[in-house]
């Protein structure tokens, strides 16, 4: 069964500090991996999308990495801001199968001043 | 301003009632999706439609129904057969091609009273 596991489940960091979120997946055949940011009570917003051949992609202070061999991805947040408080969701897409998405349970990040 | 709109934001349902959640997009996307989000869990696919007048069941379709009479609209009906309907419902749409991201609506929170 295809799965996407994220860790930690939640974390608290001080404003200005960096943090890294992990995503491990078993989805196969792999098509692409996306990271989304979801504010409470809102829909997810795309941060990055990476295909098999890409191993890093940045979007401002967010940097995602992908190791397709070990089926691991990480999302690094640099110089965190209070507005970074949200859930971060890792989503993996299958090749064909209608590009079916498998969602991780998310990591809830709380940035404190 | 292109986007995807869900309404209402909050919805209360009495036992035994059917309710319909609205999802409208003006992105000219062919594919539309309905997901259910429960606390601490990944999004789960209820129904999806890749073209007008056609839709397929997702992983948890029981107790739900949809229609796709227009490209822009993909309403979801939560029927009385859905035994545990209290959840956050997200609608999404997607353009053609692997590189296109999914655009999510802002969600509808449904509560059974």
Token digits of residue B61: 């379709």
Residue A63 has pLDDT above 80, yes or no: yes
Measured from the Cβ of residue B89, the count of other Cβ atoms closer than 10 Å reads 23
- pLDDT of amino acid B101: 75
Identify whether the C-beta of residue A78 lies closer than 8 Å to the C-beta of residue A16: no
- pLDDT of amino acid B99: 57
| Å between A103 CA and nearest CA of chain B | 5
Q: Using CB atoms, pick whichever of B35, B42, B99 lies closest to residue A105.
A: B42
- pLDDT of amino acid A1: 77
pLDDT, mean over chain B: 91
Interchain contact, B105 vs A43, CB within 8 Å: yes
Instruction: Write out chain A residues lying below 8 Å of B88, CB-based.
Output: 41
Give residue B102's region: left, alpha or beta (phi > 0; psi -120 to 50). Answer: beta
- Element housing A86 (H / E): strand A86-94
| Å between A27 CA and nearest CA of chain B | 14
- Contacting residues for B84 by C-beta, under 8 A, at least 6 apart: none
Residues B42-56 pLDDT 10s: 899 999 999 999 999
């Amino acid at each position: 069964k295809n799965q996407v596991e994220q860790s930690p489940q939640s974390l608290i960091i001080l404003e200005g500090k960096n943090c890294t979120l992990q995503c491990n997946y078993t989805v196969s055949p792999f098509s692409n991996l996306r990271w989304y940011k979801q504010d409470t009570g809102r829909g997810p917003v795309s941060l990055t999308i990476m295909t098999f051949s890409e191993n890093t992609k940045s979007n401002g202070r967010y940097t995602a990495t992908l190791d397709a061999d070990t089926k691991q991805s990480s999302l690094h947040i640099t110089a965190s801001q209070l507005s970074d408080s949200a859930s971060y969701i890792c989503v993996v897409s299958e090749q064909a199968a209608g590009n079916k998405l498998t969602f991780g349970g998310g990591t809830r990040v709380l940035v404190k001043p | 301003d292109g986007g995807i709109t869900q309404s209402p934001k909050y919805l209360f349902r009495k036992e035994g009632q059917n309710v319909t959640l609205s999802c409208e997009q003006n992105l000219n996307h062919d594919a539309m999706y309905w997901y259910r989000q429960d606390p601490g869990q990944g999004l789960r696919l209820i129904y999806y439609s890749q073209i007008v007048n056609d839709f397929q069941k997702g992983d948890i379709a029981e107790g739900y129904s949809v229609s796709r009479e227009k490209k822009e609209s993909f309403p979801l009906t939560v029927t009385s057969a859905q035994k545990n309907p209290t959840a956050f419902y997200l609608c999404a749409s997607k353009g053609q091609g692997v590189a296109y991201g999914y655009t999510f609506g802002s969600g509808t929170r449904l509560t059974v009273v």
